[in-house]
Chains A and B, each alone.
Chain A
Amino acid sequence: MAKLIVNGEDQEVQLPATVADLIQQNNVAQPDMVSVQVNEEFVDREDFATLQLNEGDTVDFLYFMGGGQYV
C-alpha cells in the first residue's frame, strides 16, 4: 500500500492506480464534473484514466458550488 494525501488527509492506496481509479475508490459524487489536482497541477479530464499516481502524491478533488442569487 502507498500513502497519498487526498483532500489534505492521508490515504492508503493500492498502486498502480490512476486518477480515475482514485475517483472511484473515493466514491466521488458526479465524477464527470470533479476537477482534480495532482501535486498542485490540474489534470486534464482526458488524462484521468491514464495518469498513474505515485507514493506521496497530493491529490485534491475540487467540486462545483453554486449558491447565492440568480442574476
Chain B
Amino acid sequence: MFDFTEEELNRYSRHILLQDVGVEGQEKIREGKVLVIGAGGLGAPVAMYLAAAGVGTIGIVDGDVVDLSNLQRQIIHTTPDVDKWKVESAKETINAINPHVKVNTYREFLMSDNALDIVKEYDFVVDGTDNFPVKFLINDACVMAGKPFSHGGILRFEGQTFTHVPGTACYRCMFKTPPPPGAVPTCSQAGVLGAIAGMLGTIQAAETLKYLTGVGELLTNKLLTFNAKTMDFRKINVKKTDRCPICGTNPTITELIDYEQAACDLHK
C-alpha cells in the first residue's frame, strides 16, 4: 500500500524508525501540502526541514530578492543567490536537499486579494513573515478558510509561537488588532540573533510535522515564548475568546484587510 522506493525508505529511515511515525507517518508527510509564507529568517529553516522530512508539496510565498544582509540568518539562501528572487533561490535549495518535493513558488506579496486563493490549496500554513499587517492577514485568511497554521515571531533575542487549528485560540484572541505602523520594531530595524530564527523556525517545522502525522500535542491554546539570553522557555495557556473579532461568536471581521505597513519596513 505504500509505494516508497528503496531510495526513499533509506532517505527517511530515521523517521520510519520512530515508532510514532513509521511508514504510515512518512506517507502522511509525503501527502502533506504545506504553505510557507516568507522565505526569510523563519521560512528558511522551516522549508529546509520540511523538504528534508519529505513533505510532498511545499508552497513558498515571497515577493522579494535575496540581499546580502539576509544571509546572516536566512540559511536557505547562499552567497551566490544574492539578487535572485527568494522563491527561486529557496526552490533550488529545497530540491537540492530533496528532489522528491514538489515546490510551488508564489513570487508575490500576500495581500487580501490573493491570500484565500493561495491558502486554500494547502493542508497547513506556516507564518514566516516579519510584519504585523501580514501576520493578521494570515490569521484571518486561515480562520476564514478553516486552515491550521503556525504563528511565529522573533525580535532581538526572543521568540514566540503558537499553533492554530480550527476551534482553538487564534492570533486575534491574543492581540485584537495590529500595532500602529512602526510602533513595534521588526528585525530589519531592531536586529535579531540569526540563530534565534533557527530556534523558532525549527519549532514551527516540528509543529508542522506533528500536525501532518498526528503525533504528540500541538501548541494549540498555548503561546510558547523564549528568551535566548537566559534560555528560559515558557508556555502560556491562552483561550479562544468569545469576543474575538474573527473567530468569536459574533465576528465583526467578515473580509480580509490590508493594514497599513510602516514605510520603514518596506525596505531592508
Are A and B subunits of one complex?
yes
Chain B interface residue count, Cβ-Cβ cutoff 8 angstroms: 53
Instruction: Let me know if A70 and B152 touch, CB within 8 A.
Output: no
| B174 touches A (CB below 8 Å) | yes
Closest CB in chain A relative to B252 CB, distance in Å? 14
Instruction: Let me know if A65 and B131 touch, CB within 8 A.
Output: no
Which residue in chain B gives the minimum CB-CB distance to A41?
B239
Instruction: Let me know if B132 and A71 touch, CB within 8 A.
Output: no
Q: Which of chain B's residues have a CB closer than 8 A to the CB of A27?
A: none
| B40 touches A (CB below 8 Å) | yes
Contact among B152, B234, B237 for A7, CB-based, below 8 A: B234
Q: Which of chain B's residues have a CB closer than 8 A to the CB of A44?
A: 243
Instruction: Let me know if B223 and A68 touch, CB within 8 A.
Output: no
Chain B 157-196: CB-based contact to A (< 8 A → 1; otherwise 0): 0111000000000000111000100011111100010000
Q: How far is the CA of A8 from the CA of B230 in the complex (A)?
A: 15
Q: Which of chain B's residues have a CB closer than 8 A to the CB of A25?
A: none
Q: Number of contact residues on A: which range applies?
A: 20 to 34
Chain A 38-71: CB-based contact to B (< 8 A → 1; otherwise 0): 0011101000000000000000101111111111
**Given A42-B174, A64-B153; A69-B184 close (CB under 8 Å):** no
Chain B 131-153: CB-based contact to A (< 8 A → 1; otherwise 0): 11011000000000000000011
Instruction: Let me know if A30 and B174 touch, CB within 8 A.
Output: no
Stretch of B14-22, B25-33, B50-58, B122-130 with 4 or more beta carbons under 8 angstroms from chain A: B122-130
Instruction: Let me know if A68 and B152 touch, CB within 8 A.
Output: yes
Instruction: Let me know if B153 and A68 touch, CB within 8 A.
Output: yes
Q: A67-B155, A71-B38 are in contact. List 6 more A-B contacts (CB 8 A).
A: A35-B174, A64-B153, A66-B155, A67-B192, A68-B38, A69-B41
Top 9 nearest A-B pairs by Cβ distance?
A69-B40, A65-B153, A67-B154, A69-B38, A68-B42, A68-B130, A66-B186, A64-B184, A68-B128
Could you tell me which B residues sit within 8 Å of A by CB distance?
37-43, 61-64, 74, 86, 109-110, 127-132, 134-135, 152-155, 158-160, 173-175, 179, 183-188, 192, 197, 200, 223, 234, 236-239, 241, 243, 265-266
